[in-house]
């Protein structure tokens, strides 16, 4: 990475380090009730504090003529920057104190008195779906937050003819991505022009939505992004940007807001999910029918849930052939933290279910779990449940890779007294996000530098280095000449998410570089130069022609598909390529305490072509380590509507002592030098939890169907007690 030294020494600037002249500081007042009508907000005490400039409420925003559209949202515009009328979850922002210093803002926030009228609330999705449940949004009756269905073949007939039918329910709770740099943003207006510096993965989406709120052209909104101190999905969509944009508008000064750690927990989370699976199998263990019912808790606002549950549906199928399949996937509003993206989005929950289920079937039939997978895994040219013919499919290679490394079929490590040991495997598929676009502008300058403009965000995956490497490769110049610019809204990119950036950037950069090569060739023809291969040769041609710079533009656009045009009948092309991964683990379970120790772990991702081996490995192994948390101990606990553990003391994340001593990974490549590059950011994380669950089962005979697999849950499963 070009900025490696700054990263290691600590001089790299993040958004949290940025300041703007004359900026004021914000501090939010949040609802202590899961559902309450806002009766009155008394701001007089806050305004009497030193340094407090203004206190804003939802009512101020609603009546402000400067803000024609006070609600935002990328799927449904159901969320105000500050609650209007009622607060819908504990932590819902109801007022913003704006002051000269962060300390004054904090003091002011403590002096705001809000009068609430408590309303009935609902936390559990199944209760929220029941008749008579408290309703969150008038416009969306029944707390409906997206429903998608898929069916293929005749499930009922196949189920009735199946030799065996297996059935189980698997659940996973809310988790927090815990990016170390919190959500932080600054907004500044200059007449009608808005600048926002924000730690976001989705600058183009933030730009479009803010432009809508203020009814202005997106060209008047610039979103500037420094490298992120972690994202993992938590910095997707819009978070606090509407709050600072509105505040800066109404106070006439730049406003900065940085969330405290507990507020990060109250801002977004992984979708809690309940997945019920029924599977019919024939005598040889081949899957003949499957039925899936999937319910995702969307929390108090839609964010992406109405669309995300479609991906949740597609990502619940797994890497197997199903001639007959029927799926329903629903999102539900509840009075909890709004759910959003989380590394391995909408795949972690489902993979835990379908890969645990695969082993339960194998065990029920007395078939080795490896053999059961071999018989059912999708292969090149097979038809996915949506009807799409699949290409570039490598599940068997991934399964065999992880099985070989973990020594599948060989004896486990000898058990020590009181410990049971066992191995587990899991294979996953993740569909790519649909309908996305990425633009790149490459500028070849006569001084020899190559500037790359994108709206892709570096969040630790090293995208700046990767884009530089791809540009150097496509132009044939030295990487030291390539300078990738931080996102500044000069180009469009749907998102830096879904493990898509390397794949799409290779296409877009290839196109932009091809354009430059063409332009240079035309100039060279005139000047009689040969085709250039080094920066110096490009430079000579540009200088010879008296040109200071050339611009090449390129874009990647997902192929058009109408597969998601009918929510009740998903059908057709659902992915432009397929993310594929696998994990194998060996665990030791303390049979007296239920504590699980990961002795060894190996992950594999289908990479197609590896751009940078160090970064590819860090994505796969980092993804495994990240996945250990929600698998074994991470859970945002909600009691009576309150998040009770919004801090790193009560919500623990993996430390270095949680990392298996033996942790390895493979990035599998095609022998074809021009093979498509596949993203590798999330290929191992979804397989971690089910591989562990399967290993626990093989070690102890106990099956845990709830994440996280805490010592208590494992012990209860071992002794056969209900939770």
Partner 1 sequence: MSERLTLEVNGDEVVVEVPADEALVNTLRDRLGLRSVRPTCGLGICGTCTVQLDGAVASSCLLLTVQVEGRSIRTSEGLTNDDGGLSRVQQAFVDNGAYQCAYCIPGMVVTVEACLAESPDATMEEVREYLAGNLCRCGTYVSILEAVTELVRGERE
- Residue numbers of the site for partner 1 (CB under 8 A)? 1, 4-5, 7-14, 16-17, 177-182, 227-232, 260-261, 459-462, 614-615, 618, 621-626, 647-649, 653-657, 659, 663
385 CB-near residues (< 8 Å, 6+ apart): 150, 152, 317, 322, 325, 327
Angle at 629 between CA 628 and CA 634, to 5 degrees: 150
Q: For partner 1, which is the closer residue by CB, 227 or 285?
A: 227
**Tokens 């052209």 correspond to what residue?**
217
CB of 104 to partner 1, least distance (A): 13
CB of 579 to partner 1, least distance (A): 18
558 CB-near residues (< 8 Å, 6+ apart): 432, 433, 434, 435, 436, 437, 576
CA 546, CA 518: separation in Å to the nearest integer?
17
Q: For partner 1, which is the closer residue by CB, 283 or 656?
A: 656
Q: For partner 1, which is the closer residue by CB, 10 or 132?
A: 10
CB of 99 to partner 1, least distance (A): 16
Q: For partner 1, which is the closer residue by CB, 306 or 654?
A: 654
Q: For partner 1, which is the closer residue by CB, 187 or 459?
A: 459
CA 136, CA 107: separation in Å to the nearest integer?
32
Q: For partner 1, which is the closer residue by CB, 140 or 180?
A: 180
Q: For partner 1, which is the closer residue by CB, 146 or 462?
A: 462
CB of 190 to partner 1, least distance (A): 26
CA 479, CA 456: separation in Å to the nearest integer?
18
CB atoms within 10 A of CB 526: 10
Q: For partner 1, which is the closer residue by CB, 230 or 544?
A: 230
CB of 586 to partner 1, least distance (A): 17
3 state SS of 670: coil
CB of 469 to partner 1, least distance (A): 14
- φ/ψ of residue 100, rounded to 5: -70, -30
CB of 1 to partner 1, least distance (A): 8
Q: For partner 1, which is the closer residue by CB, 460 or 641?
A: 460
3-state percent breakdown (helix, strand, coil) of the chain, nearest 5: 30, 25, 45
Q: For partner 1, which is the closer residue by CB, 171 or 664?
A: 664
CB of 180 to partner 1, least distance (A): 4
CA 428, CA 362: separation in Å to the nearest integer?
17
CB of 185 to partner 1, least distance (A): 17
CB of 449 to partner 1, least distance (A): 23
Q: For partner 1, which is the closer residue by CB, 177 or 309?
A: 177
CB of 225 to partner 1, least distance (A): 13
Query: Each residue of 607-630: b (16+ CB within 10 Å) or e?
Result: bbbbbbeebbbbbbbbbbbbbbbb
3 state SS of 144: strand
Angle at 548 between CA 545 and CA 552, to 5 degrees: 95
CA-to-CA dists, residue 619 to 47, 429, 461, angstroms: 48, 16, 7
CB of 357 to partner 1, least distance (A): 27
Closest CA to 438 of 377, 497, 493, 512: 493
Sign of CA dihedral 319, 325, 331, 337: negative
Q: For partner 1, which is the closer residue by CB, 199 or 304?
A: 199
Q: For partner 1, which is the closer residue by CB, 128 or 616?
A: 616
Closest CA to 236 of 209, 191, 262, 268: 268
Q: How far apart are the first and last CA of the chain?
A: 48
CB of 590 to partner 1, least distance (A): 20
CA 196, CA 244: separation in Å to the nearest integer?
8
CB atoms within 10 A of CB 169: 13
Closest CA to 432 of 616, 600, 634, 573: 573
CA 400, CA 396: separation in Å to the nearest integer?
6
H or E element in which residue 159 lies: helix 155-161
Q: How many CA atoms lie within 13 A of 345 on its CB side?
A: 27
H or E element in which residue 277 lies: strand 273-281
CB of 679 to partner 1, least distance (A): 15
Closest CA to 233 of 80, 12, 430: 430
Q: For partner 1, which is the closer residue by CB, 548 or 655?
A: 655
CA 666, CA 716: separation in Å to the nearest integer?
35
CA 642, CA 639: separation in Å to the nearest integer?
5
CB of 583 to partner 1, least distance (A): 14
CB of 183 to partner 1, least distance (A): 13
Q: For partner 1, which is the closer residue by CB, 526 or 648?
A: 648
Q: For partner 1, which is the closer residue by CB, 520 or 680?
A: 680
CB of 657 to partner 1, least distance (A): 5
Q: For partner 1, which is the closer residue by CB, 5 or 40?
A: 5
341 CB-near residues (< 8 Å, 6+ apart): 201, 233, 234, 236, 237, 268, 304, 308, 497
Closest CA to 265 of 644, 545, 586: 644
């Amino acid at each position: 990475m070009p900025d490696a030294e700054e990263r290691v020494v600590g001089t790299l600037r993040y958004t949290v380090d940025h300041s703007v002249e004359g900026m004021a500081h914000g501090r939010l007042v949040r609802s202590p009730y899961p559902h309450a009508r806002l009766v009155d907000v008394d701001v007089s005490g806050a305004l009497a504090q030193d340094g407090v400039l203004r206190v804003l409420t939802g009512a101020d925003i609603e009546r402000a003529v400067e803000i024609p559209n006070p609600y935002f949202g990328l799927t449904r515009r159901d969320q105000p920057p500050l609650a209007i009328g009622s607060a819908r979850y504990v932590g819902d922002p109801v007022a913003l104190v704006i002051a000269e210093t962060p300390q004054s803002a904090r003091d002011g926030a403590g002096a705001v008195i809000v009068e609430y009228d408590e309303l009935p609330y609902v936390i559990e999705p199944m209760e929220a779906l029941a008749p008579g449940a408290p309703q969150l949004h008038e416009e969306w009756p029944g707390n409906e937050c997206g429903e998608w269905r898929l069916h293929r073949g005749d499930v009922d007939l196949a189920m009735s003819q199946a030799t065996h039918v297996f059935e189980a329910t698997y659940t996973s709770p809310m988790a927090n991505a815990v990016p170390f740099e919190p959500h932080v943003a600054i907004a500044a207006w200059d007449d009608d022009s808005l600048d926002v510096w924000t730690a976001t993965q989705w600058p183009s989406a933030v730009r479009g939505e803010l432009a809508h709120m203020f009814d202005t052209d997106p060209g008047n909104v610039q979103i500037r992004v420094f490298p992120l101190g972690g994202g993992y999905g938590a910095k997707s969509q819009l978070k606090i940007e509407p709050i600072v944009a509105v505040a800066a508008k109404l106070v006439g000064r730049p406003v900065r807001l940085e969330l405290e750690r507990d507020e990060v927990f109250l801002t977004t989370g992984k979708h809690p999910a309940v997945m019920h699976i029924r599977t019919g199998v024939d005598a040889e263990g081949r899957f003949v029918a499957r039925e899936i019912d999937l319910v995702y808790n969307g929390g108090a606002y839609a964010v992406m849930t109405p669309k995300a549950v479609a991906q949740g549906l597609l990502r619940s199928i797994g890497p197997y052939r199903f001639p007959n399949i029927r799926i329903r996937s629903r999102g539900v509003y509840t009075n909890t933290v709004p759910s959003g993206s989380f590394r391995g989005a909408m795949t972690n929950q489902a993979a835990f279910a379908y890969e645990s289920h695969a082993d339960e079937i194998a065990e029920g039939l007395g078939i080795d779990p490896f053999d059961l997978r071999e018989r059912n895994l999708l292969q090149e040219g097979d038809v996915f449940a949506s009807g799409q013919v699949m290409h570039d499919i490598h599940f068997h290679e991934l399964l065999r890779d992880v099985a070989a490394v973990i020594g599948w079929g060989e004896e486990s490590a000898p058990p020590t007294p009181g410990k049971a040991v066992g191995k587990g495997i899991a294979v996953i598929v993740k569909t790519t996000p649909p309908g996305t676009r990425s633009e790149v502008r490459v500028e070849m300058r006569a001084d020899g530098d190559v500037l790359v403009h994108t709206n892709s965000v570096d969040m630790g995956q090293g995208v700046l280095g990767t884009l530089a490497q791809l540009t150097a490769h496509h132009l044939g110049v030295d990487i030291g000449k390539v300078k990738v610019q931080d996102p500044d809204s000069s180009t469009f990119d749907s998102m830096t998410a879904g493990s898509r950036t390397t794949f799409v950037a290779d296409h877009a950069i290839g196109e932009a570089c091809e354009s430059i090569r063409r332009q240079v060739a035309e100039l060279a023809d005139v000047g009689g130069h040969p085709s250039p291969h080094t920066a110096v040769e490009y430079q000579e041609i540009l200088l010879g022609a008296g040109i200071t710079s050339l611009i090449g533009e390129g874009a990647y656009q997902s192929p058009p598909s109408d597969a998601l045009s009918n929510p009740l009948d998903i059908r057709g092309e659902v992915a432009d390529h397929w993310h594929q991964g696998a994990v194998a683990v060996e665990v030791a379970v303390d049979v007296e305490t239920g504590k699980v120790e990961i002795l060894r772990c190996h992950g594999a991702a289908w990479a197609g072509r590896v751009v940078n081996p160090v970064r590819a490995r860090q994505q796969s192994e980092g993804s495994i380590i990240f996945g250990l948390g929600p698998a074994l101990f991470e859970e945002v606990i909600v009691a009576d509507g309150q998040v009770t553990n919004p801090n790193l003391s009560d919500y623990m994340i993996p430390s270095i002592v949680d990392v298996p001593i033996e942790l390895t990974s493979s990035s599998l490549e095609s022998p074809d030098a021009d093979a498509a590059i596949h993203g590798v950011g999330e290929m191992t994380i979804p397989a971690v939890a089910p591989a562990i669950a399967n290993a626990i089962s093989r070690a102890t005979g106990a099956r845990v169907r709830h994440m996280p697999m805490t010592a208590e849950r494992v012990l209860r499963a071992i002794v056969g007690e209900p939770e």
